[in-house]
């Protein structure tokens, strides 16, 4: 009797989670399977409109889309731009979040308010944040150039300059994300035993030595998570580019996600866009594995 009740309880549990699995399959598993298959097929817009829900039209072309992407000048340019964005975004955000976390890791009056202020940019939508920085870095009427003119410096047209457009986008993304990663590091700092710092004080360690030999090693696992998240964010940068520059000037701010979006939804080249997206996915997986091994080796 108990066995029957237990089995009935198991069935009820499965029935409760069944809707979640159905939704997961509809909106995650099926689109992934469809896009993988589409990356190996030549899909025309007309046939796509006429196809059924579970039908993938077009003829099989093998790895042609993958080979074409790797030989595409614009795709290579987009990869370089994406990496350039990451080179600016990842170190600044990581360093800034550590510094802010250490500054607010104090038991002082009003410290919770300060933490909240630093976190506010993260809850601002990408659209709002982008519009703020478009206003700040407007070449003619922007606040940044107005301040520079007060000290006799003629500021450039930031967002229409091939030299400055990508750094401005990266700085905006840093500003928006730094508060979130500050909280991640803050949680790690608050879990470090105070006894270790007391021992370091007894040994006469300086603030820099305490950070090097106590704080940083104990933040290793958290830093791995932060680096992986920052890397994924940098490789998926799209909305900021779409709103602030539209990929310009020229091709200077075209990123891989932006190029994929254009190929899929502007030119309806579904197969090539799907192939590019999975090339990006492979890069993310490889870099994540390498980073994990490096950090694990250093942490022992």
**For 38-74, how does the pLDDT look when each residue is reduced to its tens digit (9 = 90+)?**
899 988 877 777 776 677 778 889 999 999 999 999 9
**For 146-188, how does the pLDDT look when each residue is reduced to its tens digit (9 = 90+)?**
999 999 888 899 999 999 999 999 999 999 999 999 999 999 9
CA torsion through residues 35, 39, 41, 47, sign: positive
Alpha-carbon distance values, 224 to 189, 208, 236, 274, 290 (Å) = 15, 21, 18, 29, 11
Alpha-carbon distance values, 183 to 99, 112, 190, 247, 289 (Å) = 11, 11, 10, 32, 25
Residue pair 258/106 in contact by the 8 Å Cβ criterion: no
Whole-model pTM: value is: 0.88
Residue pair 69/275 in contact by the 8 Å Cβ criterion: yes
DSSP, collapsed to helix, strand or coil, labels residue 59 as strand
Residue 191 burial class via C-beta count within 10 angstroms: exposed 0-12, middle 13-18, buried 19 and up: exposed
Domains, the chain, with CATH or none: 1-61 (no CATH), 73-298 (1.10.3720.10)
Phi and psi at residue 277, in whole multiples of 5°? -65, -35
């Amino acid at each position: 009797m108990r066995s029957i009740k237990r089995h009935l309880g198991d069935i009820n549990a499965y029935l409760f989670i069944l809707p979640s699995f159905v939704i997961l399959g509809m909106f995650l598993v099926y689109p992934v399977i469809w896009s993988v298959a589409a990356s190996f097929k030549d899909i025309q817009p007309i046939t796509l409109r006429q196809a059924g829900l579970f039908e993938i039209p077009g003829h099989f072309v093998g790895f042609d889309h993958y080979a074409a992407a790797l030989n595409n000048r614009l795709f290579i340019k987009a990869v370089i731009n994406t990496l350039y964005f990451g080179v600016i975004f990842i170190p600044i955000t990581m360093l800034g979040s550590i510094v802010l976390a250490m500054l607010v890791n104090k038991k002082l009056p009003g410290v919770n308010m300060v933490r909240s202020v630093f976190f506010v940019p993260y809850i601002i939508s990408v659209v709002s944040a982008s519009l703020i920085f478009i206003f700040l870095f407007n070449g003619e009427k922007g606040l940044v150039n107005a301040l520079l003119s007060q000290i006799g410096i003629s500021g450039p047209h930031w967002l229409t300059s091939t030299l400055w457009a990508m750094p401005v986008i990266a700085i905006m993304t840093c500003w928006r994300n730094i508060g979130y990663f500050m909280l991640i590091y803050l949680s790690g700092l608050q879990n470090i035993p105070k006894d270790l710092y007391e021992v370091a004080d007894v040994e006469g360690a300086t603030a820099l030595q305490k950070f090097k030999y106590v704080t940083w090693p104990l933040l290793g696992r958290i830093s791995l998570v932060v680096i992986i998240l920052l890397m994924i964010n940098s490789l998926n940068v799209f909305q900021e580019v779409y709103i602030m520059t539209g990929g310009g000037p020229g091709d200077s701010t075209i990123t891989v996600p932006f190029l994929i979006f254009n190929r899929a939804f502007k030119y309806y080249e579904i197969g090539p866009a799907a192939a590019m997206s999975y090339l990006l996915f492979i890069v993310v997986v490889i870099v994540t594995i390498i980073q994990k091994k490096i950090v694990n080796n250093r942490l022992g």
